[in-house]
Amino acid sequence: MKKIKFEKNGKIFTLKAIVCENKDLIKFMNRDYFMNLCKSGCPNYNTNWSCPPNSPRFDEYSADYDKSLLVEVTSEVKDDEEFMEAYIQNRNTLEDLLSKMQIDFECIKTACGSCNLCKRCAFLDNKNCYHPEKMRYSMESMGMDLQKMSEEIFDHQLTWNSKKEQSTTCTSIGSILFNGTFLEDDFCDLARDYRF
């Protein structure tokens, strides 16, 4: 696993990256459990082409690719306001970086959260996705247990703000799916050169 620290707008971010075989990631898929969680608690459920139940299963979606580069971006936060700011910053930073990797390595990225490319998703108007070539699914929408994955692979526990407890870190996880012999260093060289 590779680890890089970088600064953006006066904040320190930690980026961890690791290459995994997709067959080894399947054990983190719990599609039915997360589908039900989304159904009972997420306002985006069945409102977007990228969200359950419209998203595919990870094992089917990743079938044409041997490997994934998992990328985790973490920043420290002091309060609820900082947590929300960091959530957006982490997500944007990761999306930018994965988009660049996607072009440079001719691979396919997964998204961080639901697709927000259009102001109103075509799904709501019973139309096909307006940008199928750009739209991507998040790993969680495909049934992946990011909490378990982060603990086992990155040795990092994902924490969230609640009324009882203030989280001290904000974390986003994304990935690219690829074939070939790229190493973590190949991706991290790009991350180091990237102007965050």
Which one among 94, 129, 144, 158 touches ligand SF4, defined by CB under 6 A?
Answer: 129
Q: Identify which range of 31-39, 59-67, 126-134, 184-192 contacts ligand SF4 by CB under 6 A.
A: 126-134
Q: Which residues contact 82 (CB under 8 A, 6 or more apart)?
A: 170
Place of tokens 């080894």: 24
Kindly determine how many residues on this chain lie close enough to bind ligand SF4 according to the rule CB under 6 A: 13
Place of tokens 């409102």: 47
Q: Confirm or reject binding of residue 118 to ligand SF4 (CB under 6 A).
A: yes
Q: Rg of the Cα trace of the chain? A: 16
3-state SS string for 125-156: HCCCCCCCCCCCCECHHHCECHHHHHHHHHCC
- Scanning 112-120, 140-148, 173-181, 186-194 for contacts with ligand SF4 by CB under 6 A, the matching segment is 112-120
Residues 34, 45, 49, 137: which binds ligand SF4 (CB under 6 A)? 49
- 56 near ligand SF4, judged by CB under 6 A: no
69: which strand partners?
19, 176
Residues found near ligand SF4 in the complex (CB under 6 A): 48-50, 115, 117-118, 121-123, 129-131, 135
